Amino acid sequence: MSLTNASPSDAAKAAKEASHVLATLSEDARNDALTAIHAGLAAARDEILAANARDLEVARSAAAHGQLSPSLVSRLDLGKKGKWEDMLKGILDVRDLEDPVGKITLRTKLDDGLELTRVTCPIGVLLIIFEARPEVIANIASLAVKSGNSAILKGGKESTESFVAISKVISAALDQTKVPNGAIQLVTTRDVIPQLLDLDQYIDLVIPRGSNELVRYIKSNTKIPVLGHADGLCSIFLEQSADAKMAADVIVDSKTSYPAACNSLETLLVQESALSTILPQVAAALIEKDVVLRCDPKTKASLFNKLPPNLVEKLEDAQEVDFDTEFLSLTLAIKAVADVHEAISHINTHGSKHTDVILTSSDELAEQFMSSIDAAGVYWNASTRFADGMRYGFGTEVGISTNKIHSRGPVGLEGLMIYKYKIRGQGHTTAAYGEGEGKKSYKHEKLPL
């Protein structure tokens, strides 16, 4: 990894050249680089966390003056909730995954001595633009090296010291390996995002990690394909047959385990027949965790009669905009729906195609819900917080995609691969094949992989 203040064009050219070398390295060479990165970061823990603490001090001051969102500050904290340990574990998890490069996914005998294969290969050059989240550098570097892709990283100014500290360690580690240093670059020049987004001749994929404003800006200002999601507006439908304790546990975990995450619960839809039976226990558990409940008239009226006065006074009236809002905080919008059909309609209209859940004891309703919801992740009786690359067994992720082409959901190694077709012949020409006299027909025989 190189810390560069080169022009965006020069950085992208260097990354493209390095990608051609990286794509041809052996699996052992790429794995050795990940081992070196892990060892370097582990040894530099105190130095990196000290740099992160300096970033946090400035960020908290900015948040206190309304210049930075609290959710962004939360994402910046590298020492919070085991982030550091997860970051290091993710590197080794990626290293130990099956090599994604050069896997044959199709073999066809076109004719005698003429064989077609489809083989996985790296996408090329990735541009990752991110806010806060200093662990992104290690995550992306690991996934890029393992998948044979070059990566250009551009971080936000709020975590500059963290980025620089991590990047220096990774750069020193790569110097001991066969991976070209230019394969992973952190661009330190300010205000260069528009120029980077213009370099479609060198950059093959943009991956934004940050606020919905950042993602929307990138999607509107580049011809390069973009992988990511603007919003994480996740919903849960609480159906009348769900077990009350299970429902409370799943909903509380979905909302409170990390409210600033994109896979945090933002909307709770409650079947009307469950308003007086299940919702009170769920609401009490949420309020106990300091969650602000913004209720529509039906849910508020039901809770008014079921909750003690000290909890009722904490309920707020929901506005229509609340059901289109990614709060990223301890605020939850609650709405009553008649049945699964209305829940599905609401989610497909207001959701962001990220992750949605049904809580029910009915197999039939669960399968109907999961088939009907248009989202990257659809769960039955499980927390929205499972939408995560490490929890899926991907080692780590470059982000969560709500796209409908190539990759969807948590994007790990597989999502950073594309494929090419190879034909091996013996002087074959297309002129020999056709319908007329003396022409040959293709055999198109499927061969074992």
Quote the domain boundaries for residue 338: 234-386
Model pTM above 0.85: no
Query: For residue 111, what pLDDT is reported?
Result: 97
In a domain? residue 184: yes
Query: For residue 4, what pLDDT is reported?
Result: 62
Q: Cα angle at 422 between 32 and 408, to 5 degrees?
A: 65
Separation CA 228–CA 408 (nearest Å): 9
H/E run at residue 400: strand 399-401
Domain count, the chain: 2
pLDDT in tens, 39-95: 999 999 999 999 999 999 999 999 898 888 887 888 888 988 788 998 999 899 999
pLDDT in tens, 187-241: 887 789 999 999 999 999 999 987 778 888 998 999 999 987 778 899 999 999 9
Give the residue-averaged pLDDT of 239-246: 98
List of residues 6+ apart from 119 with CB closer than 8 A: 102, 103, 104, 105, 419, 420, 421, 422
Pair (27, 168) in one structural domain: yes
Give the residue-averaged pLDDT of 421-426: 96
Pair (265, 287) in one structural domain: yes
Separation CA 397–CA 416 (nearest Å): 10
Percent of the chain with pLDDT over 70: 99
Both tokens assigned to 223: 């011809």
Query: For residue 416, what pLDDT is reported?
Result: 93
Pair (251, 292) in one structural domain: yes
- On the question of pLDDT at 126 being above 60, the answer is yes
Pair (216, 160) in one structural domain: yes
pLDDT in tens, 36-48: 999 999 999 999 9
| pLDDT-based confidence at residue 3 (cuts at 50, 70, 90) | low
Pair (53, 125) in one structural domain: yes
Query: For residue 132, what pLDDT is reported?
Result: 76
Pair (223, 257) in one structural domain: no
Query: For residue 275, what pLDDT is reported?
Result: 97
pLDDT in tens, 250-307: 999 999 999 988 999 999 999 999 999 999 999 999 999 999 999 999 999 999 989 9
Closest CA to 61 of 158, 174, 199: 158
In a domain? residue 168: yes
